[in-house]
Amino acid sequence: MKAKPPKKNKYLDCVYLTEVEYQKLIVLYGQKAVTRLIKDLDYGIDCKNYKYKNHYKVLLIWAGRDNIPIIKKPAKPKPPEEPVKLATEEEIAALKRKAGGIFKKVPFNPNRGRPFQDKKQAAINKLLKGE
């Protein structure tokens, strides 16, 4: 046995929406924008003989097409956050041993990573000396 579809209310002359669909539209786009969309749909159905099976989905598509901003996005349940576990000193030491020499201290070299500037400066020095 099929479940009966929810009762649809008539808005203006030709637009039919359930109360839940209408309230969702109001929450998403606001009263003013929904009223304008319903007027546009009613005009299209009445004067231009548009035929749609689901007026709610048409209004959602038209709102996206017209770039009507969403006022309030539907809330999605957030998964519970796990507490951040900080590594202990023993775990850090074990990771350093396992990584080998990656964490060894290296003396600071101000020219490291700038080979182009070193070559450029060498060329300038060469020109200044007259070589």
Q: How far apart, in Å, do the first and last CA atoms of the chain sit?
A: 99
- pTM, rounded to two decimals: 0.52
Question: For residues 103 and 88, which has the higher predicted lDDT (pLDDT)?
Answer: 88
CA distance readout (Å), 49 to 13, 58, 117: 13, 14, 73
Q: Which domain holds residue 47?
A: 9-65
Q: Is residue 59 part of a domain?
A: yes
Q: Is residue 82 part of a domain?
A: no
User: What confidence score (pLDDT) does residue 102 get?
Assistant: 59
Question: Which two structure tokens, joined as six digits, stand for 54?
Answer: 């689901």
Report pLDDT digits (tens) over 112-121: 655 555 666 7
Q: Is residue 40 part of a domain?
A: yes
